[in-house]
Structures are given as structure tokens and as C-alpha cells.
Structure 1
Amino acid sequence: MAVETTIGFGGTGLMGAAMVRRLLQAGHRVMVWNRTPEKAAPLVAEGAVLAADPAELAQHCETVILCLTDTRAVAQVAFGQNGLKGLNSQTGALRRVVDHSSISPTATREIAQRLKAETGADWVDAPVSGGIAGAANGALVVMAGGEPAAIDQASAAMRAYARAITRMGDSGAGQVAKLCNQTVVATTLCAIAEAVSLAQRSGIDAAALSTALAGGWADSVLLQTFVPRMTTPPEHSIGALATMLKDVDNVAEAMQVADVHAPVLRAVQERFRQGKSQGLGEADLSQIVRVAKPA
């Protein structure tokens, strides 16, 4: 199998690390960078090469993949000191950036235009759905925005951890699609939390809901995943409540820009905000079930 010389990867948190491992298993050579280098050490032990900064990724890699926390982090990696912009297309290898972060569509368009103008490199916004397990199993779903040729060229790497890659449109379209995804996910999580609470306070076995509702209209991957996690606190997190709140805030902004009437989303946003204010920001997503009623 032909592989690209070296793929750069910035952001080796739980999701990013799972993606890098899939790239290595597929035979790619991978250069990694993380703001906290120690967190990338296990990947180096497995065969990745450590970069000192994003500029070094741009120096050696035609494709650089990002998986970062928020819009500010993405902009800093792209244009900050020792960022990707440190080298342009004439002095470095960089030809395209694939951003798996979930950030604002408006900011994405601005970043893409600026990077293209200042370096000649293409920007592909490519948020994902499927969680850490999906990344580890090569089953992520990618929603991509950008030039068709750039997405096609980046797909060789993404196929190491994605089962489906769908171009949604021009720059920013992938992020809009992810916000649609998060609208459904966040709203469904709140509905499941309320159903579990109703079952518990009515004296029935809430843990049995995943079996009782299986195959019916209420059944879903989210129901089967989160009823057990809401009724028995999980040992390991598959996503932080605060991270979902960041996405919900981006959804609310996009809804306002698009002039969409969204009373349900606003109620969901308030519930996640309450959870963060009650100290659950770093708790697993399932712990939205613990959000107390306002005083």
C-alpha cells in the first residue's frame, strides 16, 4: 500500500491519540505535536516522531491533521508563534490542513481564507462523529468542508480511522454539519436524562430502560450507550460535559446567524450551563443526569 511520506498530527488527546494509532497501524509515518509533549510520549514509543512545534509539522508534512479543543486553540496553532504559518508553501512541505476540531463555522471560513492567502495551503474542516471508540475502531464519520480536490487528497489519511467521509460543501460546511449532529446528540442526551430520572423517581428499574425500549422508536445508539452510564457512574469518560457545552454554544450562535427559531436548543443549552455551574464541567457526558433543578 502506498503511503504519504509523513503525516503531521497536532493535538494528541484521547481522540487524537486514537487517530494517530490508526494511522500508524495503516503504515503511515506520523509526526506528532502536542501542547504538553509528555502526553505524546506513548505515541512516540509506538513509532511516531515528536515535533517541537506546529511549524516543524508544516516543514516536513504535506498533510497536517488537527484535533484541538476550541476555536482559539486552532487559530493559535495556525497563526501563533511557531504555528503552521511559520512556513509557506515555498519553504515548507505543507499543502493542506485537515481540522477535526469542532469549532465555529464563521471562524473556520476566516482561518481557511487567511491560510490560503498567506501560505497557499488548503484548509479542510472535517469534524467527526463516533467518539473515541469510533476512532479506535476505524469507524468515525467525517463531515467535510472545503475544495473537493483537497478533501480527496486528505482522504487517504482519514480512511485509516473513518468509515465514511462526506463532503458537505465549501469551507465551513463540515462544521455546520457537525453542529447539526450536536444539536441532535445534546438534545437526545437531555431527553434520556429526564427519562432515567422519571424512571428512578417512579420506583422502576431505570437500568432496564435500554432493554425495554430496544427496537422501539425511542431506541438509538445514544440510548443504549448512556442509560447504563447514567444509572451506574462510569469509570472512564467518553466526553466531558463542558466540551458538549462548547459545541452547544456554537450551535446557538449558528442558529441565531441563520435566524432559526430554536427554543428546544436554548433549553438544552441552559441545562448544560447549569451542569457546569454545579461543578460537572469535567464529568462524563452521562452525568447530565445529575444536574439539579435551579433553586
Structure 2
Amino acid sequence: MVARGLLAPEAAGLTADAKAARPRIGFIGIGIMGEAMVRRLLDLGYSVTVWNLEPERLATVLPHGAVAAESPAAVAAASDIVMLCVLHMEAVERSVLAPDGIAAASPAPKLVIDCSTADPEGTRRVAAKLKALTGAGWIDAPVSGGPQLARTGQMTVMAGGDAADFEAAKPLLAEMAGNVTLMGPVGAGQTTKVINQAIVGTGYVLMAEALMLAEAAGIDAARLPQCLAGGHADSSLLQRLYPQMQQRAFEPPSSYARQLLKDLKAVSAFAQGLGLDLGVIEQGVQRYKDYVALGHEMSDSAAVVKLYEHEAATRGKAQP
């Protein structure tokens, strides 16, 4: 059973033949990133069938032309390609292998593209089970760049899968991302995302500390990105994230602190599994544990600067 929304205005100019030539897309997981990605697909004129564990989230995409299905299996049966963008590996497994999951669909989709941030080994296991049950190919394609870049088709995709499946996925991914790179077989995309999150998570902590240092020293903290542009300290974190922190512009959240903490814990576990002891990453994990412990699970990840403000205020009260 499906419930139909309205046709997205951006897609109204497509001919019937053009619409028919496009693969039917299923999308499971309508969080902050999932919403932005579905809206992008609708803008491009794709037919998109959606499911989310919390059905109230579907209200963010149905008015724009998405079609609601009652289960992941129903999404898959209505789709040529199914995309996932869910919270963690357990949610991937539930979406694929539960009794009403993708693997139960008839007919099965040709290809699954998983944009979630998940576990590399778990990804290989679920992909192999789906292949054995249905023959469907798998591309793990975790993303980076946030909802704004997802909405405009400029996000980054780090992919894992075999060459044939990647070639099948690439035309769709190329319309959704400015940078799509195949990093190896299934699981390689998730391994690359582990490294990405190591850089991002510790970078958020570093930007917060740089901001606190600049403000405490009394310089014009807002001009730091302009001043350091083009030097070795320059980065997208400095140019995009630091100004958000400096302006305390955290509403609405573009990502959640609980999610980045989950990712950093996964980075730590992955490193330890390789016999590595990476102190900077461990400190990043602890900083986000401390921040979330203050009740900020659903706060913007960039608002970790509030942890430093809290600690500074606590020290000030402790002084005689």
C-alpha cells in the first residue's frame, strides 16, 4: 500500500518518456541527510518511494512528491534501486534482513546503495546475504558534506563495491554528488568513512578549541578564516564549520552530537581492531562523551564549543 504526494514543481517539465527512462528509486531513512537526498532526487525528476521507522518524518518529503510505502520490502518491490541512509549498522540489518526487509521483496531491486555510516565488516556480511537471497548488487556509499550540499548535489561519496555495480550506480550518484570515488570492494566505502569521521570528529574538537583560544586572547575571532585562508591551517572545517561555531548558529541542527559520538566510537573500535592506539582520536571520543553527558544528544555536532564554555564557567565559579 502506498500514499502518494504531490509532484515536485522542479520535475514538472520532464516528458513522460524521460520519466520512464529513469530508474525507480526507493529510499529508506528520512533523517536530516535522507530528507535532503530525497528532495534532491525529486528535484531531478525521479520517482521516489520512501519508508522510515518513525513515520512522522515522512511529512518532510511526501508534500514534495515522494510516495510512502508500508515497509522496506514494499519500498524495494516498487524500486529498481534502493538507497539507505539510516542511523547505524543495526538499522541497516533491520532494513535489509528483517521479515519485512529488502531481502523479502518480490520482485527484488537490482541494486542497493547504502549511504549510511555503518560497520565495514557488517556491511560485507549483509551485502553477501542479500546477494545470496535475491541477487541484488550492493554499493556502500557513505556521504560527507552535510544536508546543504546533499540538497544541491555537491556532497562527497566514498564508495565500495564491484566495478559492474559501481558503473550501474554511478549515473545516479553523479547527479547527487560533486565527488564520487570507488575505493575498493564492498566495505571499502565504509572503511573510508571511518577515516573521514576521524578527521571530522577530531576537527570539530580542534575548531572549538581554536575558537576558545581566539576569543580568550582577544583577537577578532570572526576574521580568523579570512586571515588563514590559503595557508597550511586552511580547510573546509575552518571556512565552513568554524564560522558556524563563532556565530553560535546551531539551530536547526545540521547533524546530531549523538551521531558523531557514535561515529567516533566506531573509529576508535576500528583502530583498536587494527592494533593501533591513536591518542588524538581517543581524546575526540572523550570530548564528545563529555558533551553528550551534559544532555546534548540531539544538539548540533558543532555546538561542542558549548562544552568548553561550560567548563570555563565551572572553573570560574570554583575560583575564590
TM-score class, shorter-chain normalisation, is: over 0.9
Percent of counterpart pairs with the same letter?
39
Inter-partner Cα distance in structure 2 for 1:5 and 1:70: 26
Aligned residues: 292
Inter-partner Cα distance in structure 1 for 2:183 and 2:25: 24
1:69 shift after superposition: 0.8
2:116 aligned counterpart, secondary structure = coil
> Would you say 1:60 and 2:78 are equivalent positions?
yes
Q: Which region of structure 1 is more displaced relative to structure 2, 170-179 or 11-20?
A: 11-20
> Would you say 1:43 and 2:61 are equivalent positions?
yes
Letter in 1 for 2:135: G
The aligned residue for residue 7 of structure 1 is: 25
Letter in 2 for 1:13: G
**TM-score with structure 2 length normalisation?**
0.86
Letter in 1 for 2:256: A
> Would you say 1:214 and 2:229 are equivalent positions?
yes
The aligned residue for residue 248 of structure 1 is: 264
The aligned residue for residue 266 of structure 1 is: 282
Q: Which region of structure 1 is more displaced relative to structure 2, 143-152 or 256-265?
A: 256-265
Structure number with larger C-alpha Rg: 2
Inter-partner Cα distance in structure 1 for 2:243 and 2:181: 31
Inter-partner Cα distance in structure 2 for 1:264 and 1:83: 39
Letter in 2 for 1:282: M
The aligned residue for residue 84 of structure 1 is: 102
Inter-partner Cα distance in structure 2 for 1:8 and 1:155: 16
How much is the aligned-residue C-alpha RMSD, in angstroms?
Answer: 1.8
1:5 shift after superposition: 4.0
Alpha-carbon deviations, 1:173-195, whole Å to 9, x = none? Answer: 00011111111111121111111
* Residue of 124, 144, 152 corresponding to 2:139: 124
**TM-score with structure 1 length normalisation?**
0.93
Verify the 8 A CA contact 2:110 2:137 in the aligned structure 1: yes
Verify the 8 A CA contact 1:3 1:28 in the aligned structure 2: no
Unaligned runs of 5+ in 2: 1-17, 316-320
* Residue of 300, 312, 318 corresponding to 1:284: 300
Unaligned runs of 5+ in 1: none
Inter-partner Cα distance in structure 2 for 1:41 and 1:275: 31
Verify the 8 A CA contact 2:198 2:267 in the aligned structure 1: yes
Inter-partner Cα distance in structure 2 for 1:100 and 1:34: 15
The aligned residue for residue 110 of structure 1 is: 125
The aligned residue for residue 226 of structure 1 is: 241
Letter in 2 for 1:102: T
Inter-partner Cα distance in structure 2 for 1:207 and 1:283: 22
Letter in 2 for 1:177: T
